[in-house]
Structure 1
């Protein structure tokens, strides 16, 4: 049976993937592990240490699977290619070689966001969740759906370790996977929502698969299209 491992991004735990549950075709074994520090999973002593992250995720990221990393999850999954046996394929959803891009999210904008996080983590996380959904057909509905899934009420960071969130913002600012992707030990596929506000236009247009009527959160707005796309990738990459 073909295995898919879905990895969420900054500020969201594995419940993010629940809208896909009713759309998977027969023959796929789908797992949605949380990163350390998310969903009640114990945080790492040093959330920025990739070696420790690899040790913690080794059982969740087997080589006989397709790893699917969304947003920061894609950055981290790519970085872990240096530490873990390579999967059948790596899928980057809403992510390129790096997060910051002059035509997408400039470094100065992320720096301001990181500064805001040090002052008020909950408000900053809430703002980010709204902001990343602006490319969906109905951003308000997508945000309501996300809040219902994560169940955080008024405290946006419940279930998420704040040191892990801070380290994740640093990783968004500093991780550059250009060299890793250039020498990737496995096939790499890129999926982008056609209206993703976090991706530079060139990255959206050059993606292997572009999802119509979707932004940065296609698991919320286009779950059927996303699952079909992932199933197709698994079908052509898994022996």
Structure 2
């Protein structure tokens, strides 16, 4: 059975598909897409988040649902967990999408020891898993606060994130557990060199969840570009909207000219 997927559509032009991170919903991008009216933006609620119905299964089940219900030839933008899903879509259906943009996202979120890989300590996500069972709303709000920690405008950023996200229903408990499992278990590193699409990667210099050092470990190709935003943490489009939009617009214009 196919789950019902909600997405907010705005603007007109080249389609952009926006995928949010864990614990939030597509509303997080609304202030950003209002500045990009020359593109047709699809701000998606991932399965079980916001107004979308849950979709049982793995990251591949989510990817199949999304690619089936969203427009072909779009540029896919994914933030954090959404970047993991967008990367998986780029690996599986490169012929159906025009480009990939990942924002504060890693192909492997968990820290590894052999070989060394920077990321989140296993104990952190284990704590969130345990806390979810005790108090869903408090756990989600705590994670929202983590998105902004480290940025120069953390307090304002946290308030802004909550205002946007809490305008919709809280995520489904099962979907939250699925998302945590994806962050804990998904490792897309092996197939990254096969991504030949234009790929823009945003990083926050002060990000405490996805260290900027990940950027130095990813494949560097003529089609890839890394942007590190000084002063930004895990949500650079919230804390540094003008810088974020400047780099995004430049890349989109260049990429569209090259097609």
Query: Normalising by the residue count of structure 2, what TM-score does the alignment of the two structures yield?
Result: 0.80
**Does residue 148 of structure 1 match 2:135?**
no
Residue of structure 2 equivalent to 1:193: 204
Residue of structure 2 equivalent to 1:9: 21
**Does residue 88 of structure 1 match 2:98?**
yes
Cα distance in structure 2, aligned partners of 1:7 and 1:168: 13
Return closer, same or farther for 1:128/1:77 CA change in 2, 3 Å cut-off: same
Displacement of 1:56? 2.2
- Equivalent runs, 1:55-74 vs 2, <5 Å: 55-74=64-83
Cα distance in structure 2, aligned partners of 1:105 and 1:12: 19
Question: Which of 97, 104, 109 lines up with 1:99 in the alignment?
Answer: 109
Which structure 2 residue ranges, 5 or more long, are not aligned?
1-12, 113-117, 218-224
Query: Normalising by the residue count of structure 1, what TM-score does the alignment of the two structures yield?
Result: 0.86
1:82-122 deviations in Å (ceiling 9; x for gaps): 54444111111101221112644112322232222233222
Question: Which of 214, 227, 237 lines up with 2:232 in the alignment?
Answer: 214
**Does residue 115 of structure 1 match 2:133?**
no
The alignment partner of 1:195 has SS state of: coil
The alignment partner of 1:92 has SS state of: strand
Q: Which moves more between the two structures, 204-213 or 159-168?
A: 204-213
Question: Which of 205, 213, 217 lines up with 1:202 in the alignment?
Answer: 213
* Larger RCO (alpha carbons 8 Å, 6+ apart): 1
Cα distance in structure 2, aligned partners of 1:51 and 1:210: 29
Cα distance in structure 2, aligned partners of 1:203 and 1:51: 23
Return closer, same or farther for 1:100/1:21 CA change in 2, 3 Å cut-off: same
Cα distance in structure 1, aligned partners of 2:70 and 2:245: 19
Question: Which of 166, 169, 194 lines up with 1:183 in the alignment?
Answer: 194
Residue of structure 1 equivalent to 2:145: 130
The alignment partner of 1:9 has SS state of: coil
Cα distance in structure 1, aligned partners of 2:170 and 2:136: 13
Displacement of 1:217? 0.9
Q: Which moves more between the two structures, 84-93 or 204-213?
A: 204-213
Displacement of 1:32? 1.0
1:22-53 deviations in Å (ceiling 9; x for gaps): 432x6322221221212211111x1x334432
Q: Which runs of 4+ in 1 moved over 6 A?
A: none
